[in-house]
Amino acid sequence: MNRKSKGYLLIVAVFCSFALFIYGAYSPARKAQKQQIFCVKFKNSIEKDVVERHMHAFAGLKRETKAIVGYSAGRTIAPAGKPGSYDVVHYLTFQSEDDMKAFEKSEEFKSFKADNEAAWENILVINADIQQ
């Protein structure tokens, strides 16, 4: 390749890189329209490390499942003087009900559920719209 061709190629490469940067900076993010909340109560005999593995495994579903737009989780805070009904909460957002159903039917979620279900005393799943 001669010197002139290399110069043109460099200019085209710089322009393409700049165009990709601008596209990434100004393209809109996926907007969540639906939310799903998982409240989990563990059996009393379950150790803390089992709960931690559960939390990390559920968080891993965000990376493995493209349908999930957003994910957050945490331990519940019991009301003053009352025992908490659930131990942990997982909050997921999706673009559509179809994405939500696809997540529940995914092999990753089925595998997670099979691995962790024995530790659960109770689970509550709430599906809802997100008001804009």
Q: What domain count does the chain have?
A: 2
Handedness of CA 109, 114, 115, 121 (dihedral sign): positive
User: Which CATH number do you get for residue 52?
Assistant: 3.30.70.100
End-to-end, the C-alpha distance of the chain in Å comes to: 56
65 with 108, same domain: the answer is yes
pTM of the model: 0.74
13 with 75, same domain: the answer is no
Q: Note down pLDDT in tens along the chain; length 132 residues.
A: 677 777 778 788 878 787 777 776 666 666 888 999 999 999 988 899 999 999 999 999 999 988 999 999 999 988 887 877 899 999 999 999 999 999 999 999 999 999 999 999 999 999 999 887
Question: How far apart, in whole angstroms, are the C-alpha atoms of residue 34 and residue 68?
Answer: 10
Evaluate whether 51 touches 45 at the Cβ level (below 8 Å): no
10 with 56, same domain: the answer is no
2 with 47, same domain: the answer is no
22 with 44, same domain: the answer is no
| Residue span of the structural domain in which 14 resides | 1-28
98 with 49, same domain: the answer is yes
6 with 54, same domain: the answer is no
